[in-house]
């Protein structure tokens, strides 16, 4: 996909990977603006095309008492404010057909969660908005099967589609990344590696998903070496207090160093 099709996206002429990054969920305006400001400064310095990520609602939770959001319209308006304040595009998840048009009024990219990527009506609703659609690969799906999800978007008259790999189930409580899938999925659409969700440890008896954030750089480096088009990284200034997915998030203080090293690796890879 031509990155210039994403409104407000900067540095599209650079040879860098692009980045979808931000908190798992929008917890409030102050936190969203604080995180966005820091990432914008880093990505402008490194000339990385950047899309701010934040879920306006977390519909897929293990327990009924888990945090789901601060209110749909309130969170979407915060995403809009982030976009207007920092002149960056934004991406958020949708979970049902009615979410598509609602979210599309505020954000630039609609994301289909991995558990929902086979839901045809949801994909068609997202495609019909004319927005860029990011399809998360189901943890239960092969890379090859994602061609059909991408084709649903294209057959709905929207060629602005990308695929994100967020790991594959390995037993009941772990995920692995099969890097053979990256060149396969790149045949169907621009491909993103979701570094942080790939390190989740789901289905814990506590009902709270675990993670291995110490492996973030390992997975990210491998993705860059294997020519992934973009990276997806959830980050927070205090992951221990994040209301969703804190166990696998990257501490915001570590982001600049990580991205600096990844840019150097990409520059080296681009020579071959």
DSSP string, the chain: --GGGSTT---TTSSSPEEEEE-SB---HHHHHHHHHHHHHHHHHHT--EEEE-BS-----SSTTS---S-HHHHHHHHHHHHHHHT--EEEE--SHHHHHHHHTT-SEEEE-GGGTT-HHHHHHHHHTTSEEEEEPPTTS-TTTHHHHHHHHHHTT---EEEEE--EE-SSS-EE--TTHHHHHHTTSEEEEETTGGGEE---TTSS-EE-GGGHHHHHHHHHHTT-SEEEEEEES-GGG-SSSGGGPEEGGGHHHHHHHHHHHHHHHTT-
- CA atoms in the 13 A half-sphere facing the CB of 58: 19
Average pLDDT over residues 58-70: 78
**Averaged over 12-23, what is the pLDDT?**
96
For 182-236, the pLDDT digits (tens) are 999 999 999 999 999 999 888 775 766 778 889 999 999 999 999 999 999 999 9
pTM of the model: 0.95
Sequence-ordered list of residues with C-beta below 8 angstroms from that of 27, at least 6 positions apart, any chain: 70, 242, 243
Residue carrying structure tokens 């929902």? 116
Q: Give the mean pLDDT of 99-103.
A: 98
Hey, what are 260's tokens? 């600096």
Residue-wise pLDDT tens digits, 104-153: 999 999 999 999 999 999 999 999 999 999 999 999 999 999 999 999 99
Percentage of residues in the chain with pLDDT exceeding 70? 98
Environment class of residue 204 by beta-carbon count within 10 Å: exposed (0-12), middle (13-18) or buried (19+)?
middle
Which pLDDT score, from 0 to 100, does residue 138 have? 96
pLDDT on residue 248: 87
- Residue pointed to by tokens 């205090």: 238
Distance between CA atoms of 134 and 57, rounded to whole angstroms?
17
Token pair 């992951």 is found at: 239
List pLDDT tens digits, range 161-189: 999 999 999 999 899 999 999 999 999 99
Kindly report, residue by residue over 44-54, the tens digit of the pLDDT: 999 999 999 99
Please report the pLDDT score of residue 205 as a whole number. 56
- Two structure tokens written together for 132: 């860029």
CB-count burial class (<10 Å; 0-12, 13-18, 19+) for 149: buried
Q: Which residue has the higher pLDDT, 245 or 9?
A: 9
């Amino acid at each position: 996909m031509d990155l210039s099709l994403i409104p407000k996206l900067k540095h599209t002429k650079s040879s860098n990977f692009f980045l979808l990054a931000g908190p798992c969920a929008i917890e409030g305006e102050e936190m969203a603006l604080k995180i966005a400001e820091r990432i914008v400064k880093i990505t402008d310095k490194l000339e990385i095309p950047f899309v701010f990520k934040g879920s306006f609602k977390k519909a897929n939770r293990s327990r009924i008492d888990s945090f789901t959001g601060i209110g749909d319209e309130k969170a979407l308006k915060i995403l809009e404010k982030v976009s207007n304040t920092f002149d960056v595009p934004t991406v958020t998840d949708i979970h049902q057909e009615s979410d598509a048009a609602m979210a599309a009024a505020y954000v630039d990219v609609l994301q289909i969660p991995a558990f929902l990527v086979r839901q045809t009506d949801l994909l068609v609703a997202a495609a019909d908005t004319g927005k860029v659609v990011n399809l998360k690969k189901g943890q239960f799906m092969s890379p090859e099967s994602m061609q059909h999800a991408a084709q649903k978007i294209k057959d709905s008259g929207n060629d602005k589609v990308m695929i994100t790999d967020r790991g594959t189930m390995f037993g009941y409580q772990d995920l692995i990344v099969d890097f053979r899938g990256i060149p396969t999925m790149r045949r169907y659409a621009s491909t993103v590696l979701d570094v942080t969700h790939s390190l989740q440890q789901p289905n814990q008896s506590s009902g709270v998903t675990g993670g291995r954030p110490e492996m973030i750089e390992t997975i990210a480096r491998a993705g860059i070496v294997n020519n992934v088009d973009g990276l997806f990284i959830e980050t927070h200034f205090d992951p221990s207090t994040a209301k969703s997915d804190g166990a696998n998030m990257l501490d915001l203080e570590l982001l600049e160093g990580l991205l600096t090293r990844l840019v150097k690796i990409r520059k080296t890879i681009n020579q071959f």
